Each structure stands twice: as C-alpha cells, then as structure tokens.
C-alpha cells in the first residue's frame, strides 16, 4: 500500500513540476515579447527620418522621380516596357501599353506560338539570353541542353529538399539554388561561357526544384501523400511542371500550352523591376551565379513584387465568400466599394489585379492572357469566375473615381488573369510565386549575362547621412533606454 501511495505522490509531483515548468516558459515568453515590443517602438522612433528631408536633399525614394517614373540607372537591350509618355512639363501621359523582348513585341511572339500550336518558353528563353530568335537547328540544340539538365544531381532531392522541407516554397527554392553551388565543379567562374552553362543548368532544374519542394511541403506540413515524378527530358517546361505537381501526373495539351503562355508573359519586364535590378546589382559585385539568382528569388518573394497573383486569388475567394450572388453586378459593386474604402478583404484599399506602376491604359500581357483564359474557362466550367474578372476589369476605374475622385487611368494587369488561370489549372496557391520565379529566371539570367558582358563597375548608390556628430560617452555614463530581456526566472518566482 505504501508503494502505491509513494507512486501516486511521485506522479502528482511530476504533474506539478511539468505544469510549473510550462507556466514558467509562458511567463518568460510573455516578458520577452513585451521587451521586444518596447524595444521596437524605441528603435522605430530613433530611425524615423522626416519626410521633408527627402525633399530637401532631392532623394529619389524608391528610385522613383517625383512624377512616379523610374530613375534611370542603366541601359539594356533585353526588354522594354512602355506604358505612358511624358510631356515637356514632366507630366505622365497615359497610352496603350507595349512590351518588347529584344525588340520583338510580346503580341507577335505569343501569337506565332499560338498560331503554330507549339510551346514557346524555351524558344523565347533563347531569344532573351542570346539576343536573336533561334534557327530551327539552334532551337533543337538549345532544347537538348535544357533536357540534359532536367534531372537534379544524384542525391540532391533527398538530401537538400525532402529531408529539410520548408513551409514556404520560395524559401526552399532560394536555399536549393544556393546549395547547387556545391554541386558545380566551377561555381565561381564568371566568364560568359560558364555563366551561360550555369544559366541553362538552372533553367533545366527549376521545374523539379519547385515540384519537389511542393511535394515535400504538403507531405511534412499537411500530412498528405508524397507523389514524386522524375522530369522527362522530352517534355517541355510547362508539361514537366504539371506532370510533377499533380498526383496523377496527367494534364491536357490546352492546359500545358496555357501555362507555357503564362510563363512567356512573365519572363521579362525590363531591367527596372525589383528582382531584375537585384540581379544587375548583385552581379556587378562579381559574385557567382547561384548567389545572384538566389538574391533575385528573395526579391521576388516579397509581397510587393511577386505575390500579387496570390492576392488576386485570395481576393476572389473573399468576394465569393462575402457576396451572396457574385453574378449580380450590384452586389459585386457594393463589395468593391467596401474594398476601396478599406472595409473589405485585407483592408489595404486595393483591388488586386488592377493598376500598374508603368502601364496606364492597358497591360499587353493581360490582354494576351485574357483571350487564352477564356478558352480554358469554357472547357472547365470556370466561365462565371472568368466573367467576374472581366467585370472587375471594366468596373474598377469607375468605382475608384466614385470613391476617391479624379480620373486616374487604370487597367487590368497580368495578375488578374494569371491568378484566374492558376486557379482554373488547379495550381496550388503556394506554387504561384515560384512559377513566377521560374518564368522570370530566363530574364534574370539574360540580365546577369548583360551585366557581366558590359564589364560594368560595382554599383554603389549613395545615402546621405542626416545624423549629427556627437561626443563619445563612456560606459559608466550611459543611461539604459531599451529594456533588456529578463533572464530565466528563478524557482522562487513561482
């Protein structure tokens, strides 16, 4: 009997000790969180710079001029984006948007792929990297080079992806690109021939990197079945993506061609977009290809740059959840007004998929993708959602003027319809931005090659210090102003 009583006492003591330890951790965590909040508030106040100082020193915040145009920091032959003209007073004049890859309009490039019913991603990648459209023999050879690099290095999927999954596929993609440095026999050589080799290698690897990262994520974090398919060298980039993402590995020709079109439209957007500029900036230091591309991925991961198509998907979901009948235009108008007043969706006041930093009257990418998206909608019972996107495109400028006043030129951007296409293709939300990275990789590699070919100087922009000089304070004369984290509480605290 005494043994049983002793055992019960030990159990009760163990339970009390566990509860005390858990309470102790919670209190310490709460204390530390409070300390960090106070510290952040103090740092924010100390780092604040008055807005009028930027005007006084003529600082181009966000590398933008006062009229919203981008600051000219370089020259490029790769891509050109035209969305407005500028008059003699520096005012922006709206115009129909144009996008050129190496001097070819995006409409011409895409329409010929559609007309001949063939995949174009690899062909347009060749154009961006080498400066001319390939001959038939050149295209065959280039496709073979990419095909030879579809399969990841031996052991890489297991060691670098499957055993260390990430909840964010862009994070895993950046880490995987950095890890490929160690699988390269000549990683730091920045001669053009070596960088071209590395670029083709990465373009070949990316579908598998994205698909395996997604499969690892859904298996580890979502407890879903793991479906792994080897990439097939005879398939196009878009076919391999769909094959490796889907549990059955099945896809239709229309689906693959539409995804191919989406990738082409996202491949390049001039040197001034954040991730392409990042590529130029990092490459000017003379660093290796894997570091440069990983940095570009980090830039694109930011929600202000590469996450807009996901925000469109989320907005459409929120609209459908909060509008009883989204085929009723009056109800949709009421929802969009609430969005503009920051009363609906994420409270940002933005109707995602509408408006662009450069395009004013039209985004040529959106117009091209819209036509293909309509065909996909007809064959997959998504016509109501497609028509909803069309209505948002048509009505938003009018509602914006009604809510905010003015007559701002505003067009649908490519994200409105790429978000729809990804939803209709059943592409998971978390893969949307990685697919943007896969497409933009071709442009990044072209911009890296261009930067290295110029032999340009290290980019070193200037920052003006507005901190006044002050005398040094000895340690014993300093006053504590930022609270320090408490040490682990003693047992006596409890």
Considering Cα of 447, then 450, then 454, then 455, what sign does the dihedral take?
Answer: positive
Per-residue model confidence (pLDDT) at position 335: 97
pLDDT of 86? 85
Task: Provide the CATH topology of domain 79-307+432-454.
Answer: Citrate Synthase; domain 1 (1.10.580)
pLDDT of res. 487: 47
SS (H, E, C) the chain: CHHHHHHHHHHHHHHHHHHHHHHHHHHHHHHHHHHHHHHHHHHHHHHCCCHHHHHHCCCCHHHECCCCCECCCCCCCCEEEEEEEECCCCCEEEEEEEEEECCEEHHHHHHHHHHCCCCCHHHHHHHHHHCCCCCHHHHHHHHHHHHCCCCCCCCHHHHHHHCCCCCCHHHHHHHHHHHHHHHCCCCCCCCHHHHHHHHHHHHHHHHHHHHHHHHHHHHHCCCCCCCCCCCCCCCCHHHHHHHHHCCCCCCCHHHHHHHHHHHHHHCCCCCCCHHHHHHHHHHCCCCCHHHHHHHHHHHHHCCCCCCHHHHHHHHHHHHHHHCCCCCCHHHHHHHHHHHHCCCCCCCCCCCCCECCCCCCCCCHHHHHHHHHHHHHHHHCCCHHHHHHHHHHHHHHHHHHHHHHCCCCCCCECHHHHHHHHHHHCCCCHHHHHHHHHHHHHHHHHHHHHHHHHHCCCCCCCCCCCCCCCCCCCCHHHCCCCCCCCCCCCCHHHC
pLDDT in the model for residue 489:
42
pLDDT tens-digit profile, the chain (494 residues): 567 777 777 777 777 777 777 777 777 777 777 878 888 888 888 889 999 999 899 999 888 888 778 899 999 999 999 999 988 887 888 999 999 999 999 999 999 999 999 999 999 999 999 999 999 999 999 999 999 999 999 999 999 999 999 999 999 999 999 999 999 999 999 999 999 999 999 999 999 999 999 999 999 999 999 999 999 999 999 999 999 999 999 999 989 999 999 999 999 999 889 999 999 999 999 999 999 999 999 999 988 888 888 889 999 999 999 999 999 999 999 999 999 999 999 999 999 999 998 999 999 999 999 988 888 888 777 899 999 999 999 999 999 999 998 888 899 999 999 988 998 899 999 999 999 999 999 999 999 999 999 877 899 989 999 999 999 999 999 888 887 644 444 444 54
CATH level 3 topology of 309-422 = Cytochrome p450-Terp; domain 2 (1.10.230)
Using the CB atoms, write b or e for 59-87: b if 16+ within 10 Å. eeeeeeeeeebbeeebebebbbbebbeee
pTM: 0.89
What is the reported pLDDT for 484? 63
Joined together, the tokens standing for residue 314 give 């989320």
What end-to-end distance do the CA atoms of the chain give, in Å?
A: 33
pLDDT value at residue 2? 67
């Amino acid at each position: 009997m005494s043994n049983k009583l002793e055992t019960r006492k030990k159990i009760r003591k163990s339970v009390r000790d566990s509860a005390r330890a858990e309470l102790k951790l919670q209190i310490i965590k709460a204390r530390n969180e409070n300390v960090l909040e106070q510290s952040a508030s103090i740092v924010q106040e100390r780092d604040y710079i008055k807005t009028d100082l930027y005007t006084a020193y003529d600082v181009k915040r966000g590398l933008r001029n006062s009229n919203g145009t981008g600051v000219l920091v370089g020259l490029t032959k790769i891509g050109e984006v035209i969305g407005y003209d500028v008059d003699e007073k520096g005012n922006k004049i709206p115009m129909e948007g144009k996008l050129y890859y190496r001097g070819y309009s995006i409409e011409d490039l895409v329409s010929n792929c559609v007309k001949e019913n063939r995949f174009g991603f690899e062909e347009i990648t060749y154009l961006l990297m080498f400066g001319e459209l390939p001959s038939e023999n050149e295209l065959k050879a280039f496709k073979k080079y990419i095909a030879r690099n579809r399969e990841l290095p031996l052991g890489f999927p297991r060691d670098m992806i499957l055993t260390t999954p990430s909840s964010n596929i862009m994070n895993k993609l950046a880490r995987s690109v950095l890890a490929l440095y160690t699988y390269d026999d000549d990683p730091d050589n920045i001669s053009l021939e070596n960088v071209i080799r590395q670029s083709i290698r990465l373009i070949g690897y990316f579908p598998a990197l994205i698909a395996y990262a997604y499969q690892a994520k859904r298996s580890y974090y979502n407890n879903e079945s793991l479906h792994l398919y080897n990439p097939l060298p005879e398939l196009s980039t878009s076919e391999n993506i769909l094959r490796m993402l889907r549990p059955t590995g099945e896809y239709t020709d229309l689906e693959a061609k539409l995804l191919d079109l989406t990738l082409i439209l996202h491949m390049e957007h001039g040197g001034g977009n954040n991730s392409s500029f990042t590529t130029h900036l990092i490459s000017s230091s003379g660093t290796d290809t894997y570091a440069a591309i990983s940095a570009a991925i980090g830039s694109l991961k930011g929600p202000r740059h590469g996450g807009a198509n996901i925000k469109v998907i989320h907005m459409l979901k929120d609209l459908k959840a909060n509008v009883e009948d989204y085929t009723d235009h009056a109800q949709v108008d009421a929802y969009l007004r609430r969005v503009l007043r920051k009363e609906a969706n994420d409270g940002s006041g933005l109707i995602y998929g509408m408006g662009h930093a450069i395009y004013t009257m039209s985004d040529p990418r959106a117009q091209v993708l819209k036509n293909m998206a309509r065909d996909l909608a007809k064959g997959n019972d998504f016509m109501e959602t497609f028509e909803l996107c069309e209505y948002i495109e048509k009505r938003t400028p009018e509602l914006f003027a009604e809510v905010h006043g003015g007559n701002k030129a505003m067009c649908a951007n490519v994200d409105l319809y790429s978000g729809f296409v990804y939803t209709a293709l059943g592409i998971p939300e978390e893969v949307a931005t990685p697919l943007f990275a896969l497409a933009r990789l071709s442009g990044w590699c072209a911009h890296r090659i261009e930067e290295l070919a110029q032999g340009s100087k290290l980019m070193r922009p200037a920052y003006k210090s507005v901190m006044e000089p002050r005398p040094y304070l000895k340690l014993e004369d300093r006053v504590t102003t930022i609270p320090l984290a408490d040490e682990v509480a003693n047992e006596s605290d409890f």
